[in-house]
A and B are shown apart, each in its own frame.
Chain A
């Protein structure tokens, strides 16, 4: 029967030994081990969380960059569009003004030509008058000689005219 009868000595030693073990382990082993585990778990959790945050920030930043790029592209297109329009406008304007200018110049030239023509005609008229007067004077002078001479003279004058 002594297999199932606890002996008092062993019970006493077991109480003493186990109590000492419990106190020593609780104070010098479990406390530091458990707190180290807790600390490490917290650190890992924190690291994971901050990694998540960083990843989100990265994603946000990327999205923002993409957005900015997109906006820049749109703006560039708008600017190019505008530039095209402006240059086309300018070309158109230049063309128009050149045409107008040309027309004006032609107009001016015409006016000048007209004026010149008038002046020339005026001059011609004066010249013709002068010539006529000269011819008349010379005819009148020669009237006193003979008719033949007169005629020859007139012809001569006329030839002179032609030569002019």
Chain B
């Protein structure tokens, strides 16, 4: 119950945040230059990877824009083609081959009636590949160590990975799933590794806010949803569609609630929790940095730097906790789906 209340309050905070974000941006972009716009720009996805700005020179990495449409097939452009070469601003006036990227970094067709699927390697997609590569490198070298050194204590990279593997196996999978935990440990380990490394890499300067992107957290939540419902046993479905010990008259009310719980609430909670925790952390850090540009004072700069350091340390903790929580709740949902109920 408290958990659901918590989810609800988190959801309200998100909605409030969304409503205030445009106001935030509007206030900044008024008469003078936009001093805090970079916060939302960083937190959101983009078609180019922006690292730094020196004076009026932007250090960016242009990324491929990939479009698939029925009439024109697969098209690949560089994001450079869609922007002002000096200010790096996107806009309708910088259109290319019938497409343009608007001010909110959305790809649009100049002919509004055309429909297409965008498969661009955006900043977050590039970050996704990086995270995947790092996770693969870490885990495959660990596997190699075990292959080369059977029955020996972990050394080097294995001593870094092994406690995490054992923690996920013995503290998350085993207690929450029960006797069938072995089947789901690889999934939980992958979830944990991806989110954790993604969170940590997202904290690095110039990195993208991958695990704080709703598309990423939603997809991860859907993975857990699919795994949970594909492994659900008879008891699990019976519990949803004919909850034992409940009078038949109440079932028409209870069944929709149960279906909502199984297919909407659980993934929604997973999605929002990770998204909010990581995005909020990024916004807080960037806000403290933004204070420096708003006040243009050394004292504020010093205080902000101290605060940013402090919050970054907390974010290191949050990165681990959120990976743990997402994995833990996935394990709990799977555990509910595969549990054998002897009583009732």
Interface residues of A (CB under 8 A from B): 1-15, 17-18, 20-22, 24-26, 28-34, 36-37, 39-40, 43
Contact = CB atoms under 8 A, between A and B. Distances in A.
B190 A33 contact: no
A36 B161 CA distance: 13
A33 B193 CA distance: 14
B190 A25 contact: yes
A20 B132 contact: yes
B18 A4 contact: yes
**Which of B66, B147, B189 has the most CB atoms of chain A within a 10 A radius of its CB?**
B189
Contacts of B166: 37
7 contacts: A2-B104, A3-B18, A3-B214, A9-B118, A29-B140, A33-B142, A33-B161
B215 interface: yes
A122 B193 CA distance: 139
B219 A15 contact: yes
B59 interface: no
B80 to A, nearest CB: 18
Contacts of A1: 18
How many chain B residues sit at the interface, stated as a range, is 35 or more
Nearest to B275: A4
A31 to B, nearest CB: 7
B313 interface: no
Contact of A29 (B40, B132, B139, B213): B139
A33 B125 contact: no
Contacts, number: 132
A34 B185 contact: yes
A39 B165 contact: no
Contact of B119 (A13, A17, A34): A13
A43 B151 contact: yes
Given A21-B194, A26-B190, A32 B146 contact: yes
A42 B132 CA distance: 32
Closest 9 CB pairs of A and B: A6-B215, A36-B146, A29-B139, A10-B215, A26-B186, A14-B219, A30-B186, A32-B143, A9-B118
A37 B162 CA distance: 9
Nearest to B166: A37
A16 to B, nearest CB: 9
Given A9-B118, A9-B120, A37-B166, A18 B215 contact: no
B310 interface: no
Interface in B219-236: 219-220, 223
A43 B152 CA distance: 10
Given A6-B214, A14-B219, A18-B190, 8 more contacts: A3-B214, A6-B213, A9-B125, A10-B216, A24-B140, A25-B193, A33-B143, A34-B169
A20 B128 CA distance: 12
Interface string B192-219: 0110000000000000000001111011
A26 B189 CA distance: 9
**Which of A11, A25, A32 has the most CB atoms of chain B within a 10 A radius of its CB?**
A25
B151 A25 contact: no
A11 B219 contact: yes
**Which of A14, A21, A28, A34 has the most CB atoms of chain B within a 10 A radius of its CB?**
A14
Nearest to B14: A4
B58 interface: no
Contacts of A7: 45, 118, 122, 215
A8 B119 CA distance: 8
A162 B165 CA distance: 139
A17 B136 CA distance: 11
B330 interface: no
Given A2-B104, A9-B119, A37-B165, A18 B220 contact: yes
